[in-house]
Structure 1
Amino acid sequence: MTPRTTGTTGRGQAPCHHGEILQGVFRDGAGRPCPGLVTLPMAGPGSSAVFTIRPGTDPQALTVAPAARTKAARAAALAVAECARRSGLPPSGGELRLAGDIPVGLGMGSSTSDVIAAVRAVADAYGVRLPTGAVARIAVRAELACDPLMLDGRPVLFAQREGRVLEVLGAALPPLLVVGCDLGGGAPVDTLALPVREAGEADVRAWERLRALLRRAVAAQDARLLGAVATASARRGQRVLGHPEFEALAAVARRVGAVGVQIAHSGAVAGVLFDAARAAAPGLPYQVRGCLDALDAHGIPAARVFATPGVRVRAYTPISPSHPAEELLWTSTSRSR
């Protein structure tokens, strides 16, 4: 790609996710235990960034708005150095502006989305196309651990503290419809305040078994097996998170015929998972409506309804948008038309 002239403006975007399907400690290619995760992709909310190069200024003279987005500012500075090296242009300071609609502190990857959008904006301004591995390394340096949002939704087991893929699980997840909610009233979770639980050999073996099952679920496009893996991972996560609503959430999922539940292992977001394969589709609107009502009865109001990439969500529009719970589904499906 031909480098641009300094003084130009670049733009970048990044999606969010809806917590994890699986998170734990796994063996890498060398047999070394390594923290890893598989996220649940979510279309819709995201971060966007605009970066304007200020020619001749010190590379550290970089401003960001809003000013509190310090991780994105660090990522932009690192990206400037990397992109200047690749393009042959001198590194310069600049102005980074961020916008987005991802809820903060729920475990939906808001900070990683900001970081990746910022890196992509800097690369665009310098006329450089950074490979995903380089974006991941910058993201880890900027925020110590990152989500695999730079991979644009592919199901991978990702080492979040090292910014590398441990395993590509397949081309796509099984088709799912997700009823999402925010546990604990949606209060942000301070992940640094969570207790640290060291993983023993038995823990690693258990996570490796779940990894093998998830690999099989993706290969067979088996939503029920994926749901079982996600539920088992979520239950193990309760040893640290201890959500008081978790058992009620799991009971609702069983009662309405869902395939399982998933949670953000570093936040409050959770989801009830439904098989959205064609064979399951005819009764799905009624299952979802029952789920929304059951969650509401337990004081866990739904916050969003969405599908995994490739699912034709409009097929699940309910009979009438008059009921508040149905209106949530109606609004969600309408966006995908």
Structure 2
Amino acid sequence: MTEAPRPTAPGGDPHRTTGDGRAPCHHGEILQGYFHDENRRLCHGLVTLPMDRPGSVARFARRPGSKPDEVTVTPAGRTKAREAAVLALRECAVLRGQDPCGGELTLSGDLPVGLGMGSSTSDVVATVRAVADSWGLRLPPETVARLAVRAEGAGDPLMYGPRPLLFAQREGRVLEVLGSALPPAVVVGCALGGSEPVDTLALTVLVEDGDLAAYAHLRRMLRRAVADADTTLLGRVSTASARLRQRVLRHREFPALKGIADSVGAVGVQIAHSGNVAGILFDPRAPGLDGGLRRCRRALAREGITQTRTFTNFASPHRLGGPPWTTTYPKPSAART
């Protein structure tokens, strides 16, 4: 598919030199494992639990006439975002029929780092969008995904919005569109492992006999859960996937987390498969929801598990109760790469 240059972008024209971009985050995974694509080739794949915020905000100012790799980043140390800016500059220059150049990238936002919420991908997607906006362009999500994976080595499907997708994170492509939306859920968020960041590159993936069949079965279950808007089935899938991942992450709090979910009427648990963020899932249509949420928070406090925020994965007229992010998560670090 050929991408036509966009003649006028919001807030400017093709000759503009500054641009802005935003990207959301996610709350870890509903499902992650190994899956076959349409050609029966085995791929790493995941389905994330989307969130509207927090997220990353980027502003990019092009310097026409400068070398294409002369990109400065504030805060310093955001090497993946810088690489994404360089790649996006070259992509957009080709689309505009001009020479690539460098520029200045400024990133902001309140997204916690290293907890498995897609902080680096959020930075990268916001950066690519800001660079494109500085050229008066809007790149399609397939192009943003390709650039993000080249910059990071692997990424999350944040560029596609909140639709539930089985996404090949190391290849930047969609394996399956599961539907228009995940089943509705209320999530009591928490952070395991003392809220410490996880070095995702140091994780060793373990695959045992029967895992491929298990992941194929969970994929079919999740497909059915989305089609039927079945939150209970969603919880079964996320809990099973989280349990499989414990061979790698070994969260000491996981048995307590699962026990709390069972005792308060939740449908299951979900975790970041490469981090410490986690959640207990409730069906918003279930009777006694408010009481279940209160019991859940009290039980988490008794176990010494850090609570973060209670939120929904669907449009809600008001934010559910819970402390703000800044009081419970580590602040974003300038050393994010």
The TM-score normalised by the length of structure 2 is 0.91
| 2:30 and 2:47 in contact (8 A); partners too | yes
Distance 1:228 1:253 in 2: 11
Matched AA of 2:210: A
- Choose from 244, 252, 257 the match for 1:249: 257
Distance 1:83 1:111 in 2: 22
Distance 2:14 2:322 in 1: 49
- Choose from 244, 265, 268 the match for 1:236: 244
Matched AA of 2:290: P
Alpha-carbon shift at residue 90 of structure 1 (Å): 2.0
Distance 1:327 1:147 in 2: 26
Distance 1:89 1:11 in 2: 20
| 2:271 and 2:278 in contact (8 A); partners too | yes
| 2:60 and 2:106 in contact (8 A); partners too | yes
- Choose from 318, 323, 327 the match for 1:328: 323
Distance 1:196 1:228 in 2: 22
Distance 1:201 1:11 in 2: 47
Asked if 1:300 is matched to 2:305, the reply is yes
1:109 paired residue number:
118
- Choose from 18, 27, 30 the match for 1:21: 30
| 1:307 and 1:313 in contact (8 A); partners too | no
Trace 1:1-337 onto structure 2 (pairs within 5 A). 1-2=6-7, 4-6=13-15, 8-197=17-206, 199=207, 202-277=210-285, 280=286, 283-313=288-318, 328=323
SS where residue 183 of structure 2 aligns?
coil
Alpha-carbon shift at residue 243 of structure 1 (Å): 0.2
| 2:121 and 2:158 in contact (8 A); partners too | yes
2:334 paired residue number:
none
Alpha-carbon shift at residue 204 of structure 1 (Å): 1.0
SS where residue 210 of structure 2 aligns?
helix
SS where residue 310 of structure 1 aligns?
coil
The TM-score normalised by the length of structure 1 is 0.91
| 1:6 and 1:53 in contact (8 A); partners too | no
Alpha-carbon shift at residue 191 of structure 1 (Å): 1.3
1:335 paired residue number:
none
Distance 1:252 1:28 in 2: 36
Greater displacement, 58-67 / 207-216: 58-67
| 1:6 and 1:54 in contact (8 A); partners too | no
Distance 2:159 2:16 in 1: 26
| 2:16 and 2:135 in contact (8 A); partners too | no
2:329 paired residue number:
none
Greater displacement, 84-93 / 134-143: 84-93
| 2:309 and 2:322 in contact (8 A); partners too | no
Change (3 A) 1:6 1:64: farther
SS where residue 259 of structure 2 aligns?
helix
| 1:176 and 1:311 in contact (8 A); partners too | no
1:215-242 deviation line (CA, Å, top 9, x unaligned):
0000000000000000000000001000
1:111-160 deviation line (CA, Å, top 9, x unaligned):
00000000000000011121111000000000000000001111000000
| 2:47 and 2:166 in contact (8 A); partners too | yes
Alpha-carbon shift at residue 7 of structure 1 (Å): 5.7
Change (3 A) 1:224 1:311: farther
Matched AA of 2:307: A
In terms of fraction of residues, the more helix-rich structure is 1
Alpha-carbon shift at residue 6 of structure 1 (Å): 4.8
SS where residue 328 of structure 1 aligns?
coil
| 2:164 and 2:177 in contact (8 A); partners too | yes
Matched AA of 2:63: R
Matched AA of 2:306: P
Could you list the runs of 5+ residues in structure 1 that have no partner in the other structure? 318-325, 330-337
Distance 2:42 2:315 in 1: 33
1:10-48 deviation line (CA, Å, top 9, x unaligned):
000000000000000001100011000000001220000
Distance 2:154 2:140 in 1: 18
Distance 1:31 1:9 in 2: 44
Matched AA of 1:308: N
